[in-house]
Amino acid sequence: MPDYIHLLPDAIANQIAAGEVIQRPASAVKELLENAIDAGSTEIQLIISDAGKALIQVVDNGCGMSETDARMSFERHATSKIKTAEDLFNIRSMGFRGEALASIAAISHVELKTRKHEDPLGTRIVIEGSEVIAQEACQCNPGTSIAIKNLFYNTPARRNFLKSKTVETRHILDEFQRIALAHPNISFRVLNNNIETYHLLPGNMRKRIVGVFGSNYNERLVPVEESTSVINITGFIGKPDFAKKTRGEQYFFVNNRYIKSPYLNHAIVNAFEDLIPSSAYPLYVLMLDIDPARIDINVHPTKQEIKFEDERIIYAYLRSAVKRALGHHSLTPTLDFEREPGITDFLKSRKPSDSGYAGQASPGGPFQATQTAKPTQKETQAWQELYAISRNKDKQTITLQSNWDKPEPGLAIEMENTQVVPYQLHKRLIISPIKSGMIIIDQQAAHERVLYERFMAAFGDKPIASQQQLFPKKLELNTADFELLKDLHTEINRMGFDIQAFGGNDFVVHGIPVDITEMNIQEVIEGILEQFKQHNESMADTPRNNLARALASQACIKTGQGLSAKEMIALMDELFACQEFYKAPNGRQTFISISLDELRSQFDKKE
């Protein structure tokens, strides 16, 4: 009997492999985008038409390929990403199997143009069904462009299996979103049937999430950060109130690779516990960074599932990171107005201040959204104390609820017709009596908070007026700062500045925000740029956030500045109208409160 086993011709082998790797147009999109990322690109363009059936093209500015590499790239098992078996345990690239281009070329018409940055000319290769039709030198931009036409032209079964254009386009955009979220520092553009559907500029994670999902997502995000010896977790979860009725907007990335993991998903759902109904799905975009040796990516052909060395530890870290983030988030004043009528009264009774710090609109603003989470006991207490101040002011009385000499609580000494006068201590602290004792406010931290929220509001619907300067001030900046200010000055101007480019490396300041009295504008602007650079690099914050924070810290009342009683009262008013009055934007506490009981116990101490 003759031997009858033979090797399959490459074209057929590739076509079979394609069945696994390229299931639909979206799979080809994924492979091309990942190749562009592996090539170190900073700008990537995705062009599709007719849901990818007519054209899928990816243009990148990555390393490009030499003529030989360009040809090699279409061979099966041709990859530049691993060389030895050990490399398999240290994979940081997206691809490594060397199958994608060979598979795609087996089932479509491909045109590749590629040029290494250092080469004067590039290479153009045209392949149809694994067969090279043309190969020649060509003029092209550095980087790589791969265009796939007529996908599945020779595999009718696969072609007929495709869903409607809407569905296939959705799949493509889903893949795109995952990749764009995983690489916030890469700029992406998508043209779908000649219409630009995305143009994402490089930035931090928050900016990318907002770019992908829409600007109203900014306020929905709660940052998550956990770093341990095994794993680093960063990213965002959605506030519980915004959990959706349908799944989606749930992303895990392990070493920048999108993965599906019902097990890890459970860790998150578990952390949200009672905060959302079981029928709701919270948003999350979480990046897990882990030593590649601790994971096995090679489980699933399209690499969406991976194995962890110890999944249970990761589960535990993830759950605790999310819980902690939620805990921090719920620290913001979330008051149940139903239960605390006093607080509503307090808010209603407040008017915009008429003092030197005026400008913050009436307090209803930040609290208008109905918040139902329970306030912590401490928060409620703080508000009750403040409520006492406000009521006393209205009645022009001061109520010292003293039990210095009488042990029974509730015995008050009333001083009619006396305004509560705060006291400034060492030009840094403001001391004021409250019903239960006293509060001590750090003037700098407090004013920083007030300005920060005012500046943030300026980006919304509360613009800050600018007071024109009698003598416009020229700013002299180095080129880097000039460029940065050029990018930022429109935003800065929204906060009440009037800064215009002047020529050379100079800007001129025509106006500064009202209510900011003294400042060395050159120093302030340089300070803003400095802080902006620092924060923008180190923190998952939006640029606006950074800007408001930087400006607040530069322009606020500093320790060492004397304040009149009127100014102190205004500052206190403004502080407690803030959304997060208890801390400065940098996290420092703005005030402490000491109860009479605490004070008394100090006196009661015996030798």
The answer for residues whose C-beta is within 8 angstroms of residue 263's C-beta and 6 or more apart is: 311, 315
Q: Examine residue 39 and tell whether it contacts ligand ADP (CB under 6 A).
A: yes
Distance between CA 113 and CA 126 in Å, rounded?
A: 9
Q: Examine residue 585 and tell whether it contacts Mg ion (CB under 5 A).
A: no
Distance between CA 442 and CA 435 in Å, rounded?
A: 20
Q: Examine residue 175 and tell whether it contacts ligand ADP (CB under 6 A).
A: no
97, interface contact from Mg ion, ligand ADP, none, CB < 5-8 Å by kind: ligand ADP
C-beta of 103: minimal distance to ligand ADP in Å? 8
Q: Which is nearer to ligand ADP, 125 or 456 (CB)?
A: 125
Structure-token pair, residue 145: 């462009």
Which element (helix H / strand E) includes 46? strand 43-49
C-beta of 78: minimal distance to ligand ADP in Å? 5
The 10 Å Cβ neighbour count of residue 213 is 18
Distance between CA 451 and CA 570 in Å, rounded?
A: 13
Distance between CA 72 and CA 209 in Å, rounded?
A: 37
Q: Which is nearer to ligand ADP, 65 or 540 (CB)?
A: 65
Q: Examine residue 95 and tell whether it contacts Mg ion (CB under 5 A).
A: yes
- The helix-helix angle for 479-494 and 521-538 (nearest 10°) equals 100
98, interface contact from ligand ADP, Mg ion, none, CB < 5-8 Å by kind: ligand ADP
Match 């919304």 to its residue by tokens: 460
C-beta of 64: minimal distance to Mg ion in Å? 15
Distance between CA 466 and CA 109 in Å, rounded?
A: 60
Q: Which is nearer to ligand ADP, 105 or 551 (CB)?
A: 105
Q: Which is nearer to ligand ADP, 39 or 525 (CB)?
A: 39
Q: Examine residue 35 and tell whether it contacts ligand ADP (CB under 6 A).
A: yes
Which of positions 502-531 make contact with Mg ion (CB under 5 A)? none
C-beta of 143: minimal distance to ligand ADP in Å? 7
Q: Examine residue 98 and tell whether it contacts ligand ADP (CB under 6 A).
A: yes
Q: Which is nearer to Mg ion, 103 or 169 (CB)?
A: 103
Which of positions 24-83 make contact with Mg ion (CB under 5 A)? 35
Q: Examine residue 130 and tell whether it contacts ligand ADP (CB under 6 A).
A: no
Q: Which is nearer to ligand ADP, 41 or 536 (CB)?
A: 41
Structure-token pair, residue 419: 């305004």
C-beta of 74: minimal distance to ligand ADP in Å? 8
Phi, psi of 273 (to 5 degrees): 30, -110
Q: Examine residue 144 and tell whether it contacts ligand ADP (CB under 6 A).
A: yes
Phi, psi of 379 (to 5 degrees): -60, -45
Q: Which is nearer to ligand ADP, 66 or 344 (CB)?
A: 66
Q: Examine residue 100 and tell whether it contacts Mg ion (CB under 5 A).
A: yes
Q: DSSP secondary-structure letter at 99? A: -
Distance between CA 127 and CA 166 in Å, rounded?
A: 28
Distance between CA 20 and CA 18 in Å, rounded?
A: 5
Residue nearest to ligand ADP (CB): 95
C-beta of 135: minimal distance to ligand ADP in Å? 15
175, interface contact from Mg ion, ligand ADP, none, CB < 5-8 Å by kind: none
Structure-token pair, residue 74: 């279409």
C-beta of 275: minimal distance to Mg ion in Å? 40
CA-closest candidate to residue 546, choices 485, 480, 483, 456? 456
Indicate the residue type of 213: F
Q: How far is CA 128 from the centre of its chain?
A: 43
CA-closest candidate to residue 293, choices 306, 276, 279? 306
The one among 96, 217, 581, 582 contacting ligand ADP by CB under 6 A: 96
Structure-token pair, residue 100: 């994608």
C-beta of 260: minimal distance to Mg ion in Å? 20
Q: Are 22 and 165 in contact (CB under 8 A)?
A: no
C-beta of 303: minimal distance to ligand ADP in Å? 10
Q: Which is nearer to ligand ADP, 180 or 529 (CB)?
A: 180
Distance between CA 249 and CA 258 in Å, rounded?
A: 12
Q: Are 451 and 434 in contact (CB under 8 A)?
A: no
- Scanning 88-96, 192-200, 241-249, 265-273 for contacts with Mg ion by CB under 5 A, the matching segment is 88-96
Q: Which is nearer to ligand ADP, 130 or 353 (CB)?
A: 130
Q: Examine residue 434 and tell whether it contacts ligand ADP (CB under 6 A).
A: no
Please state the three-class secondary structure of 381-441 as a single string.
HHHHHHHHHHHHHHCCEEEEECCCCCCCCCCEEEEECCCCCCEEECCCEEEEEECCEEEEE
C-beta of 148: minimal distance to ligand ADP in Å? 12
The one among 17, 101, 205, 578 contacting ligand ADP by CB under 6 A: 101
Match 């000494």 to its residue by tokens: 413
Q: Are 89 and 63 in contact (CB under 8 A)?
A: no
Q: Which is nearer to ligand ADP, 96 or 532 (CB)?
A: 96
Q: Examine residue 28 and tell whether it contacts ligand ADP (CB under 6 A).
A: no
541, interface contact from ligand ADP, Mg ion, none, CB < 5-8 Å by kind: none
Q: List residues bridging with 59 in a β-sheet.
A: 45, 145
The one among 17, 31, 140, 443 contacting ligand ADP by CB under 6 A: 31
Which of positions 56-95 make contact with ligand ADP (CB under 6 A)? 60, 62-65, 73, 78-81, 95
The one among 18, 29, 36, 548 contacting ligand ADP by CB under 6 A: 36
Q: Which is nearer to ligand ADP, 151 or 547 (CB)?
A: 151
Distances (CA, A) of 522 to 303, 349, 454, 528: 53, 40, 22, 10
What is the dihedral sign for C-alpha 77, 80, 86, 92? Answer: negative
39, interface contact from Mg ion, ligand ADP, none, CB < 5-8 Å by kind: ligand ADP
Structure-token pair, residue 582: 């208890």
Give how many residues touch ligand ADP by CB under 6 A: 24
- Scanning 35-43, 323-331, 415-423, 502-510 for contacts with ligand ADP by CB under 6 A, the matching segment is 35-43
Q: Examine residue 108 and tell whether it contacts Mg ion (CB under 5 A).
A: no
Phi, psi of 461 (to 5 degrees): -110, 20
Which residues of this chain interact with Mg ion, rule CB under 5 A?
Answer: 35, 95, 100
- What residues line the site for ligand ADP (CB under 6 A)? 31, 35-36, 38-39, 60, 62-65, 73, 78-81, 95-102, 144
